[in-house]
Chains A and B, each alone.
Chain A
Amino acid sequence: DAGVIQSPRHEVTEMGQEVTLRCKPISGHDYLFWYRQTMMRGLELLIYFNNNVPIDDSGMPEDRFSAKMPNASFSTLKIQPSEPRDSAVYFCASSSGGENTEAFFGQGTRLTVV
């Protein structure tokens, strides 16, 4: 398996535009996580899915943020409209669940909103 794949790696957009980040988890992993990395808060969990169903979205900062997982191999995180304070690195991770599970991270998407 190629690991968790995120796209794009870098995104620069203007304030007010819609941004869509994409993630392909490792095949067979039942859990998918979206994290945001900032200097102030470190790795912040935004939302996670189990078997494609959103379980906990309490970390999603505002209604401008939404996430979907239409099937087991694809998830999106959308920001509409984007704001400069959304600039951060967004990571997707997947895991198989269970006691000895670990999180496998994608390479991240560096988002800059100008």
Chain B
Amino acid sequence: ILNVEQSPQSLHVQEGDSTNFTCSFPSSNFYALHWYRWETAKSPEALFVMTLNGDEKKKGRISATLNTKEGYSYLYIKGSQPEDSATYLCAAYNFNKFYFGSGTKLNVKP
């Protein structure tokens, strides 16, 4: 079992604020790191899949970085909007399995 940890557990920000959260994972035997967005009453959907140390990926106002040597990834949201409210999950992918963290629940207040 790979231990994937996310922080903070929850976050409340105002519309327009920029924010970031952390995912930490075992750096040994690293294969891939995933970020998922999970809206209430829906199912998780993939945001990013990252495999290389130093990877940076961007989708609109959301971006992510990866450090495989020290075992962490950051997810950034620039200028948060109420529609960004969701739980953001990261998952370490190895041995054909996805090991999920417990998520960061983001609430963006208008």
Could you tell me which A residues sit within 8 Å of B by CB distance?
4, 31, 33, 35, 41-43, 45, 48, 50, 55-56, 91, 93, 95, 97, 99-108
Beyond known contacts A43-B100, A93-B98: 6 more, CB 8 A cutoff? A42-B100, A48-B96, A48-B97, A101-B49, A105-B44, A105-B45
Check B102 against A91 for contact (C-beta < 8 Å): no
- Closest 10 pairs (CB-CB, A-B): A42-B102, A105-B43, A102-B46, A43-B100, A105-B44, A103-B98, A100-B49, A107-B43, A102-B49, A99-B51
B40-60 CB contacts (< 8 Å) to partner A? 42-46, 49, 51
Could you tell me the distance between the alpha carbons of A107 and B43 in the complex, rounded to whole angstroms?
5
Could you tell me the distance between the alpha carbons of A102 and B44 in the complex, rounded to whole angstroms?
11
Q: How many whole Å from A54's CB to the nearest CB in chain B? A: 13
Total B residues in contact with A, Cβ cutoff 8 Å: 22
Query: Contacts A45-B97, A108-B43: A102 and B34 contacting too (C-beta < 8 A)?
Result: yes
Chain A proximity mask over B63-105: 1 for CB below 8 Å, otherwise 0:
0000000000000000000000000010101001111111100
Check B32 against A43 for contact (C-beta < 8 Å): no
Check B43 against A106 for contact (C-beta < 8 Å): yes
Question: For B99, what are the chain A residues with a Cβ–Cβ distance below 8 Å?
Answer: 45
Check A101 against B93 for contact (C-beta < 8 Å): yes
Query: Contacts A42-B102, A42-B103, A55-B96: A99 and B31 contacting too (C-beta < 8 A)?
Result: yes
The closest CB in chain A to the CB of B100 belongs to A43
Could you tell me the distance between the alpha carbons of A101 and B101 in the complex, rounded to whole angstroms?
18
Check A107 against B42 for contact (C-beta < 8 Å): yes
Check A50 against B96 for contact (C-beta < 8 Å): yes
